[in-house]
C-alpha cells in the first residue's frame, strides 16, 4: 500500500518555464511533508518542506503547496534551470522519530 | 548544514563475503540513523532504524541476520551485509536527523554506497 504517490515517473520542461511536480498521499496522519532532490549515485538533498498547518511555503525559486482536503501537494520551480534536472522525491512524516515515507520519485528534465 | 559521510562510496565483493558500510555524522550527534536501499528506477526503501546503544528496528521483510546494524556511538552507525549475494547489489544510503531549516523533521543524507556483488 503506497501511502505517498508520485504518479509521474518523469517530466520534461523547457528552461525558464515553470516545473510542477505532484505528490498525493493517503494517510491523514501525516503532518509534515518534504521534497528532496537526488542526482544519480548521490544521496538525496533536502529542498523544501511544509507543515500541515500551512498551505504554502516558499524558498527562492521553489514553492510547495499543500491541499489537505485533497491530500495533495505540489512543488513549483520557477524559472526552471538546467541544474534542476534530477529526480525529485516527495516524503511525508507523521511522528517524531523522523521516519520518512517516500514517493517513487519524478525525474525532471530541463530542456535548454 | 549538517554533514553525513559514508564509507566506502563503492565496493565490489564476491558472493558469500561480508561487506561493512559506515555512516558518520560529522558535525553533530545522531542518536538515530536510518538505512535506506534504492533499486534502479525505484524509490528509497527504508531498511532499518539504527538506535545508539540499543538494537536496530528493522522494517518488514528486511532480514536482520543478513543486514547487521551497529550504532555504537553518537556519530557512527554501520551496516554489514553478511554473506552477500548478487541480489544484494544496490545503492545503500544512510541518513540522520539534525536541526536545519526544517528543524524537527529535516534529515541529512550520506552520499550513498554502491554495492556490487559478483
Computed over every residue of chain B, the mean pLDDT equals: 89
Rounded to an integer, what distance in angstroms lies between the CA atom of residue B8 and that of residue A5?
A: 32
Q: Does B33 touch chain A (CB under 8 A)?
A: no
Rounded to an integer, what distance in angstroms lies between the CA atom of residue A2 and that of residue A6?
A: 10
Nearest Cα to Cα of residue B107 among B97, B117, B115: B97
Cβ distance of B93 and A44 shorter than 8 Å: yes
Mutation pick from B102, B111, B115 vs chain A, by most beta carbons of A within 10 Å, is B102
Q: Judge whether A72 and A58 are in contact, CB under 8 Å.
A: no
pLDDT tens readout for residues A70-93? 999 999 999 999 999 999 999 998
Residue A6: C-alpha distances to residues A83, A103, A104, A106, A107 (Å)? 21, 6, 6, 7, 10
Residue in A42, A44, A93 closest to B105 by CB: A93
Q: Does A109 touch chain B (CB under 8 A)?
A: no
pLDDT tens readout for residues A37-66? 999 888 898 899 898 899 999 999 999 999
Contacts of B112 in chain A (CB under 8 A): 41-43
Residue B99 scores a pLDDT above 70: no
Q: Does A1 touch chain B (CB under 8 A)?
A: no
**Any bridge partners for residue B78, and if so which?**
B22, B70
In degrees rounded to 5, what are phi and psi of residue B104?
-55, -40
pLDDT tens readout for residues B44-87? 888 999 988 889 999 999 999 999 999 989 999 999 999 999 99
Mutation pick from B8, B40, B44, B115 vs chain A, by most beta carbons of A within 10 Å, is B44
Rounded to an integer, what distance in angstroms lies between the CA atom of residue B67 and that of residue B85?
A: 12
> E-assigned strands of A1-112?
4-5, 10-14, 19-25, 32-38, 45-51, 56-59, 62-67, 72-77, 86-93, 101-102, 106-111
Measured between CA atoms, the residue of chain A closest to residue B10 is A41
Residue A6 scores a pLDDT above 50: yes
Amino acid at each position: 500500500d503506497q501511502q505517498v504517490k508520485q504518479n509521474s515517473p518523469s517530466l520534461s520542461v523547457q528552461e525558464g518555464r515553470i516545473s510542477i511536480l505532484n505528490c498525493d498521499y493517503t494517510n491523514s496522519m501525516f503532518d509534515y511533508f518534504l521534497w528532496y532532490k537526488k542526482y544519480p549515485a548521490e544521496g538525496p538533498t533536502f529542498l523544501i518542506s511544509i507543515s500541515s498547518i500551512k498551505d504554502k511555503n516558499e524558498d527562492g525559486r521553489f514553492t510547495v503547496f499543500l491541499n489537505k482536503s485533497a491530500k495533495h501537494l505540489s512543488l513549483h520551480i520557477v524559472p526552471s534551470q538546467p541544474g534542476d534536472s534530477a529526480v525529485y522525491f516527495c516524503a511525508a512524516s507523521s511522528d517524531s522519530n523522523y521516519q520518512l515515507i517516500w514517493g517513487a520519485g519524478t525525474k525532471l528534465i530541463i530542456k535548454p | 548544514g549538517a554533514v553525513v559521510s559514508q564509507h566506502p562510496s563503492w565496493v565490489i565483493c564476491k558472493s558469500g563475503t561480508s561487506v561493512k558500510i559506515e555512516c558518520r555524522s560529522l558535525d553533530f550527534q545522531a542518536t538515530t540513523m536510518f538505512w535506506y536501499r534504492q533499486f534502479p528506477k525505484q524509490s528509497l526503501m527504508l531498511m532499518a532504524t539504527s538506535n545508539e546503544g540499543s538494537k536496530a528496528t528493522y522494517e518488514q521483510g528486511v532480514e536482520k541476520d543478513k543486514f547487521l546494524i551497529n550504532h555504537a556511538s553518537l556519530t557512527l552507525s554501520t551496516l554489514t551485509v553478511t554473506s552477500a549475494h548478487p541480489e544484494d547489489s544496490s545503492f545503500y544510503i544512510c541518513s540522520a536527523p539534525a536541526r536545519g531549516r526544517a528543524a524537527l523533521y529535516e534529515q541529512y543524507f550520506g552520499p550513498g554506497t554502491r554495492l556490487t556483488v559478483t
